[in-house]
C-alpha cells in the first residue's frame, strides 16, 4: 500500500498560501505515493481543486489527516488537529516550537515525527529545502513595492517638461535574504540605494547590486551566519554612524529578524524624529516586535515625520508563487525521506536530524525541549555554553537573494 501524503487548508486569518501545488502533487505521485488534499486548500493561491490531477479531495480535515502517513501544512496546526493523526505520522510545516509549547507537547504525546521547516540547516546541500529563504525572497521584493506605494514621491529620477525629479534615497537595514532582494528591487526601480548590516562580509553583496554599503566599523559576525549580540559601546558607535543615513533616507526597509525570537531594535524614536517629513519605513520584523520604535504589527502608523508600515505575512501577498516555492522546498525534503515509495529516516543525516523537532514520543530539538520540558539537569548540561542568540537574519549562501 502506497504512502498517503495529505495537505490541509490553512486556517490562520490572512493566510493565502497552501503547502501543495498541482505540479508538485504530480511529482510526489512519481515517488510512488498517493496524494490527498483538503477541499478548497489551494483556492486562495489560485489553484482550484480541479487542477490537482489524480488527487483525492477530502472535505473532512480530521478524516484527511487521520488517514495520512505524511501531513503537509504551512503554519503550525492546532493541537486538536494533531490529536486526529495516527501515531507515527510525519508532519511537515513551520512550527516555531519555542512559541508553541502546547503544540509540541501534542506532537510528542501523539508520537508524531515533526519536521519544522524553519529548522532546515543553512548548508549548501539543503538550499533547495530552505523555506525561510524562499519565502523571504518574495517578502523582500514585495517590501520594496510596498514602500513605493506609501511614499509621496517616486523612486526613480525623472525628467519632465517642467524640470527633473530626483531619485529617492533608499536604505535597507539587514542584508540577509530578504534585505538583498529588497535592495535589488529598489535599485531596479531606479532608487539610489544603500545597504547596512553588522556583518562586513555583506559589503560585496551590496556592491554587486549597485548599492553603497554603510560601514560602521563594527564587525558582529557570529556563528552559523548569524550576527552576535552587540556590546553597549558597539551599539552606540553603530547608532552614531547610522543616524545620518537614516535622516537622509526617503524609504527605509528593515529586515532583521530571527524566527521565534524578538526582533532587535535598529531604529530608535530620536532617529525617527530626525527623518524627512513624508519618509516611510517598512518594518519587515513587525511580527517579532519590530526593528523600529513605534512599529505596530499589521498597522500603518504615523510617528513624527515618518510613516511606519508593519506588514505581517508578506509572502502570503504573493500566494501563488510563495506556495509554489514552499511546495518545492517540501518536495526536496520528501525526496530525502522517501526511498522506493517507503519512508526512510536516516537519523545520521544532518538535514533530517536538525529539522526534526519531535520523533517517537520525544522532543529531539534541544532548544525546543528546554522551553517545553525545562532545562536539563546540571549534570547533563553541556560543558561549553551555547552561542548568544542571533539578532539578524543569516547571510545567503549564494549571490542570489533568498528569503
Residue tagged active-site, from 93, 127, 148, 249 = 127
User: Cα–Cα distances in Å, from 91 out to 85, 132, 353, 359?
Assistant: 9, 17, 15, 10
Residue tagged active-site, from 34, 45, 133, 279 = 133
Residue tagged active-site, from 69, 130, 197, 283 = 130
Q: How far apart are CA 78 and CA 93, in angstroms?
A: 12
Tell me, yes or no, if 130 is annotated catalytic: yes
3-class secondary-structure state, position 34: strand
Query: Following DSSP, what letter does each residue of 233-270 receive, concatenated?
Result: HHHHHHHHHHHHHHHH-SEEEE----TTSPPPP-B-HH
Query: Which residue has 551590496 as its cell numbers?
Result: 206
Tell me, yes or no, if 302 is annotated catalytic: no
Count other Cβ atoms within 10 Å, centred on residue 238.
19
Tell me, yes or no, if 122 is annotated catalytic: yes
Taking the CA atoms of residue 256, residue 258, residue 261 and residue 266 in that order, the dihedral angle to the nearest 10 degrees is -10
Residue tagged active-site, from 122, 188, 248, 261 = 122
Q: How far apart are CA 280 and CA 303, in angstroms?
A: 10
Q: Evaluate whether 97 touches 365 at the Cβ level (below 8 Å).
A: yes
What's the grid cell of residue 403? 528569503
**Which residues have a Cβ under 8 Å from the Cβ of 64 and sit 6 or more positions away?**
6, 8, 36, 38, 58
Q: Evaluate whether 130 touches 178 at the Cβ level (below 8 Å).
A: no
Residue tagged active-site, from 52, 96, 196, 226 = 226
Catalytic positions, written as ranges: 122, 127, 130, 133, 226
Amino acid at each position: 500500500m502506497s504512502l498517503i501524503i495529505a495537505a490541509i487548508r490553512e486556517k490562520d486569518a490572512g493566510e493565502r498560501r497552501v503547502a501543495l501545488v498541482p505540479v508538485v502533487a504530480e511529482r510526489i505521485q512519481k515517488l510512488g505515493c498517493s496524494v490527498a488534499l483538503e477541499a478548497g486548500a489551494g483556492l486562495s493561491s489560485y489553484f482550484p481543486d480541479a487542477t490537482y490531477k489524480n488527487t483525492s479531495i477530502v472535505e473532512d480535515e480530521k478524516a484527511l489527516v487521520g488517514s495520512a502517513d505524511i501531513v503537509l501544512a504551512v503554519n503550525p496546526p492546532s493541537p486538536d488537529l494533531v490529536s486526529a493523526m495516527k501515531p507515527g505520522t510525519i508532519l511537515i510545516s513551520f512550527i516555531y516550537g519555542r512559541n508553541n509549547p502546547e503544540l509540541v507537547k501534542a506532537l510528542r504525546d501523539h508520537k508524531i515525527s515533526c519536521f519544522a521547516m524553519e529548522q532546515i540547516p543553512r548548508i549548501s546541500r539543503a538550499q533547495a529545502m530552505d523555506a525561510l529563504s524562499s519565502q523571504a525572497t518574495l517578502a523582500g521584493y514585495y517590501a520594496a513595492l510596498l514602500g513605493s506605494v506609501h511614499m509621496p514621491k517616486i523612486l526613480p529620477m525623472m525628467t519632465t517638461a517642467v524640470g527633473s525629479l530626483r531619485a529617492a534615497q533608499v536604505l535597507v537595514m539587514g542584508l540577509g535574504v530578504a534585505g538583498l532582494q529588497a535592495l535589488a528591487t529598489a535599485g531596479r526601480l531606479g532608487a539610489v540605494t544603500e545597504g547596512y548590516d553588522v556583518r562586513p562580509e555583506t559589503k560585496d553583496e551590496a556592491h554587486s547590486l549597485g548599492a553603497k554599503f554603510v560601514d560602521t566599523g563594527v564587525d558582529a559576525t557570529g556563528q552559523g551566519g548569524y550576527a552576535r549580540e552587540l556590546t553597549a559601546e558597539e551599539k552606540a558607535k553603530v547608532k552614531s554612524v547610522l543616524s545620518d543615513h537614516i535622516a537622509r533616507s526617503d524609504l527605509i526597509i528593515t529586515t532583521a529578524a530571527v524566527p521565534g525570537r524578538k526582533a532587535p531594535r535598529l531604529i530608535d524614536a530620536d532617529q525617527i524624529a530626525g527623518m524627512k517629513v513624508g519618509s516611510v519605513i517598512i518594518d519587515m520584523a513587525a511580527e517579532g516586535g519590530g526593528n523600529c520604535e513605534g512599529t505596530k504589527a499589521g498597522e500603518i502608523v504615523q510617528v513624527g515625520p515618518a510613516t511606519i508600515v508593519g506588514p505581517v505575512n508578506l509572502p502570503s501577498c504573493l500566494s501563488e508563487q510563495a506556495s509554489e516555492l514552499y511546495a518545492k522546498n517540501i518536495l526536496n525534503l520528501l525526496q530525502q525521506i522517501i526511498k522506493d515509495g517507503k519512508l526512510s529516516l536516516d537519523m545520521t543525516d544532518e538535514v533530517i536530524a536538525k529539522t526534526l523537532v519531535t520523533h517517537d514520543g520525544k522532543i529531539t530539538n534541544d532548544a525546543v525541549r528546554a522551553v517545553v520540558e525545562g532545562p536539563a539537569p546540571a549534570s547533563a548540561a553541556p560543558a561549553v555554553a551555547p552561542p548568544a542568540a542571533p539578532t539578524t537574519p543569516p547571510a545567503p549562501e549564494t549571490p542570489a537573494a533568498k528569503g
